[in-house]
Chain A
Amino acid sequence: MSRIGNWLAAPVAAVLVALCLAPLAVLFAYSFFQVDFVTISTDPTLKNYARIAGSATYRALIGHAFLSGAVVVAITALIGYPVAWFIARRGGVRKSALLTLLLVPLYTGDMVRIFAWRVILGAEGVLNRLFLWLGLIDQPLQVLLFSPVASHLVLVYNYLPFMVIGLWLGFEALDERLTEAARDLGAPAREVFRRVTLPLTLPGLIAGGMMVFVLVVGDHLTPQLLGGASGVTVISAINDLFGTAFDWPLGSAIACTLLATLGLCCALAAFALSRTELGRSLAAGEA
Chain B
Amino acid sequence: MHPVITTVLQRLALGLLTLFVVSLIIFSSIEFLPGDFGEAILGQAALPETVAAFRKELGLDLPLHERYLEWVGGVITGDLGNSFSGRGSSGGADRSRPVIDLIAPRLGNTLFLAGMAAIIAVPLALFLGITAALYRGSIYDRVVNALTLTTISFPEFFVAYILILFFSSFFKVFPSLANIDPSADFWERVYLSALPAITLTLVIVAHMMRMTRAAIINLMASPYIEMADLKGVSKSKIIIYHALPNAWAPIVNVIAFNLAYLVVGVVVVEVVFVYPGVGQLMVDAVTTRDVPVVQACALIFAITYIMLNLFADIISIITNPRLLHPR
B is a partner of A: no
Query: Using a CB–CB distance below 8 Å, which chain A residues touch chain B?
Result: none
